[in-house]
Amino acid sequence: MSALDRREVVARFDAAAFESDGGLFSEPFDPTRPTVTPAGAPLDLSPLLLALARSLQTLEAGGFAVDSTLGAAQFTERSGERVPLHGGTNAEGVTNVVEWSDANTSTEPAPMRGGPVVPGAALRADGHPVNFGTSFALIVDYTGDGVQASALLTYGQTGVRDAEMFAAQATRFSTKDWRTVAFDEADIVADPATTTLVVRQP
């Protein structure tokens, strides 16, 4: 089952189905065993099989093949450039959450998206546009001789849409091209672009 199939399957279930038994699981969520519940296939597979059939019909209606990659449908837009994205919603069980939000906290015009290709579907006519989710990602490795750290500022470093760097970080996030962000004194001294500014108190 592709990531696109899974998304359409889970879109057919309400929030309660992810904590209770019945539609998706045979064992409900247990707060004393949070890492292993809910679990197990439901005793009645009919709702799950129906959701799977609907997911295949939805992909066909949206013009996507059953084996389409997630990046073929999921994207963000940067000045007219469509940037494919990985990640998903919390309902899909991922921590790299990227999704659509109708909330707008920016002074820029709010983005729009079309309606679902069929009632109850997550898929839109152009795929899965993303405007919300993972914004700053940082990984740190303490196991070597020194700290190793890489990061991405997924929304970018400027709000100027015609700037060269406007889409740069989104593109690096798309391709998982991490930036090194931990430097020692030797790295700094060796950088030919390094300049020194001495500030003295009057």
pLDDT in tens, the chain (202 residues): 788 888 999 999 998 998 888 889 999 999 999 999 999 999 999 999 999 999 999 999 999 998 999 999 999 988 888 999 999 988 888 889 999 988 877 676 777 888 999 998 999 999 999 988 898 899 999 998 888 999 998 888 787 888 888 889 999 999 999 999 998 888 888 999 989 899 998 8
Domain membership flag for residue 38? yes
User: Final residue of a domain: which of 36, 67, 98?
Assistant: 67
Q: Is the pTM of this model over 0.85?
A: no
Domain membership flag for residue 40? yes
CB 79 within 8 A of CB 166: yes
Domain membership flag for residue 126? no
Domain membership flag for residue 169? yes
Domain membership flag for residue 33? yes
Round to whole Å and give the CA distance between 196 and 56: 60
What domain range includes position 152? 135-202
pLDDT of residue 91: 85
User: Final residue of a domain: which of 52, 67, 82?
Assistant: 67
- The count of structural domains within the chain is 2
Residue 145 to residues 43, 142, 184: CA-CA distances in angstroms?
52, 8, 12
Torsion angle of C-alpha atoms 99, 103, 106, 112, degrees rounded to 10: 70
User: Final residue of a domain: which of 11, 40, 67?
Assistant: 67
Domain membership flag for residue 164? yes
